[in-house]
Structure 1
Amino acid sequence: MTEGVVLIRRAAFDAAGRWESQLFLYHEGFDLAWRLYEAGWCGWYAASIRMHHPLTTPARHALYQRLAARNRIWIAHRHRPALST
């Protein structure tokens, strides 16, 4: 989900653990959506709603490369399937 416009039931938001505070900048919505689906909630994508964002490069933030990579790895690790022994 894009974090530009998000509507979430409070009960779902609380049950999923709210926004992950460690994921500052990049992929917070992806992580929250994953946790909502894992908790049994469903989503609805309103494709007809348009969000406009000025054309910019994410690299304008000095920490972009590090935070984006770190957050991708953290989310993948956090949601990986359990290893069978």
Structure 2
Amino acid sequence: MRTNCPPSSATAQTIDYNQIASRFYHDLSLSKQLAIAGTEIQLFLNVANVLDEQPPLVASAKPSLMSTNPQLYDTSGRAREGGVRFEF
């Protein structure tokens, strides 16, 4: 296949495949309301990126920079958070 891209060199790499794979992230959030001794209590658990899906690689003009777009894709992987909320 012929393209109009200039040939690659050590300082200027040419990429003629301009497609980026999509990603679909699954998040999970659970909570339970309880009433104990007249106090409302909420137990909660949140898991972001349950399947620990890796972001797609994105071509960069500078290979030393991050190889994906952190504004569009999850770059931190799976994250968990849990706790208790209550009023007193």
Please identify which structure carries the higher strand content.
2
Q: What is the TM-score when the length of structure 2 is the normalising length?
A: 0.19
**Higher Rg:** 2
Q: Looking at secondary structure, tell me which structure has more helix per residue.
A: 1
TM-score, normalised with respect to structure 1: 0.20
